[in-house]
Amino acid sequence: GESVGLHLPTLSVQEGDNSIINCAYSNSASDYFIWYKQESGKGPQFIIDIRSNMDKRQGQRVTVLLNKTVKHLSLQIAATQPGDSAVYFCAENMRAAGKSTFGDGTTLTVKP
């Protein structure tokens, strides 16, 4: 069977390594998904989004993968840098609901 990454509340990586942050969502009717980054003392900031009719989207150093079969999202960060240390949230959205539902965050720590 297909292996799906588990959500981890914390993730520690070495600078320069790739990071993978996983998220499970609950509503199969959600039509788009957003990853946010929250640095200490700040509000969450948009990183990248993906529509439900896509399975992959790439940004600058980040890639989001969507597996609707198992309701799973992942955020891959290439060549992780100390500035990437933050809490990362996935959010599922349904236009009809008019709100974002946030998943449990993952605290990423990048070791120099």
Partner 1 sequence: DTAVSQTPKYLVTQMGNDKSIKCEQNLGHDTMYWYKQDSKKFLKIMFSYNNKELIINETVPNRFSPKSPDKAHLNLHINSLELGDSAVYFCASSQADPGNSRGYTFGSGTRLTVV
Point out which residues bind partner 1 (CB under 8 A).
31-32, 34, 36, 38, 41-46, 49, 51, 87, 89, 91, 93, 95, 98-102, 104-105, 107
Give the Å distances, CA to CA, from 67 to 9, 15, 23, 73. 20, 28, 10, 6
The smaller minimum CB distance to partner 1, of residues 1 and 43, is found at: 43
Report the nearest approach of partner 1 to the CB of residue 78 (Å): 21
Q: Which is nearer to partner 1, 6 or 96 (CB)?
A: 96
> Which C-beta is closer to partner 1: that of 17 or that of 39?
39
Residue closer to partner 1 by CB (options 74, 106) is 106
Q: Cβ–Cβ contacts within 10 Å for residue 92, how many? A: 25
Q: How many residues does the chain have?
A: 112
Hey, what's the torsion of the CAs at 27, 51, 9, 63, to 10 degrees?
A: 160
Say how far apart CA 74 and CA 59 lie, in whole Å: 13
CB of residue 89 to partner 1, shortest distance in Å: 7
DSSP state of 59: -
Minimum CB separation from partner 1 for residue 99, in Å?
A: 5
Q: What sign does the dihedral 52-42-9-62 (CA atoms) show?
A: positive
Write down the least CB distance from residue 27 to partner 1, Å: 14
